[in-house]
Amino acid sequence: MPASLLPHRPLGPFSVSAIALGCMGLSHGYGQRPDAAGAKALVHAALDAGVTLFDTAALYGFGANESLLGPLLRAHRARITLASKGGLAGVPDPEDGVLRRSMDGRPEAIRRDCEASLRRLGTEVIDLYYLHRWDRRVPIEESVGAMARLKQEGKIRALGLSEVAAATLRRAQREHPIAALQSEYSLWSRNAELGTLAACKELGIAYVAFSPLGRGFLAGALQDPGSLQAGDLRTRMPRFAPDAFARNRQHLLAPLQALAQRLGCTPAQLALAWLLHQGDQVIALTGTTQAAHLHESLGAAALALDAATLAELDALFAPERVAGERYALAAQREVDTEKFPFESA
């Protein structure tokens, strides 16, 4: 889609492209990563296509993703919105110095993470700064208060939260206006519809939907989860276990592919178009390492779906029809999002 035609949606004080680029996969999470030239080509393709929201985090590659993106985006800072996250980062182990994943929502940890992100990104201010996960040992008001002080100091421009429930979002909003909530939302992950989607609409908060293609499942390219490389986070997710994956391919993906063929689009475009039809507060945060896939995704912004098609997709992907939960139990305990009755506590 030409850059001039990519629609924009409000996000706090910003107007951003309705489809954004999540950059995690360039450094973290999904097995093989592109080399520096490939990452540069992808980021430049996104810029040329009119993408204006770029998302990273201190956690991704334990800072490597921010270090990669900083130089690539530096010359374009005036025309993009740069988002990063803290409160979940790599922290040196006191015994051996090895970086290990640590969740810490204390004000001093949030300040430490933010200042480290600023250095890696090579920027004086982060446009949108999220609390990556709510550390329940710390009241959400304290973590948000620390972020508000960073804003007062000019180190960030807007505040965001990730993977919190509507009640937590409202508590945070009373402490300081929240610009965006980033949580998983797609045809096969519908927890947003249990409260946070409506709360965002009511409060004027953007809903930045990560994994809008179901971590690649909805695009249809993955044939066998057994082919995933060691270290790919999907190898630990119940929906990608062999039996659940096979059922989901048969009962969900195959009908989605047939409907997309009927409509003259790809399954990925259909899934993204459905998401964008869920409200003007929704922004699709899609991730890829390939420019061809990026351009395919951006084409979804031009796809109009009628009420009958939306209803057909809603019924096909009714939450109870999805085999397997979105996270293993240990990871599920780290998030604060609402759960369906049939999901684990």
Q: Give the list of residues 6+ apart from residue 256 with CB closer than 8 angstroms, or none.
A: 187, 218, 220, 267, 270, 271, 313, 316
DSSP 75: G
Give the whole-angstrom CA distance, residue 277 versus residue 257: 19
Buried/exposed 277-295: b ≥16 CB within 10 Å, e otherwise? bbeebbbbbbbbbebebbe
Q: Which of 30, 60, 185, 207 is catalytic?
A: 60
- Give strand ranges (E) for the chain: 8-11, 14-17, 19-22, 53-55, 81-86, 88-92, 99-103, 126-131, 156-162, 180-184, 206-210, 282-287
Whether residue 152 contacts residue 144, with contact meaning beta carbons closer than 8 Å, is answered with no
Query: Does 130 qualify as catalytic in the annotation?
Result: no
CA pair distance 319, 316, nearest whole angstrom: 9
Q: Are 207 and 192 in contact (CB under 8 A)?
A: yes
Rounded CA separation 18/92 (Å): 37
Residue type, 175: E
Positions annotated as catalytic residues are 60
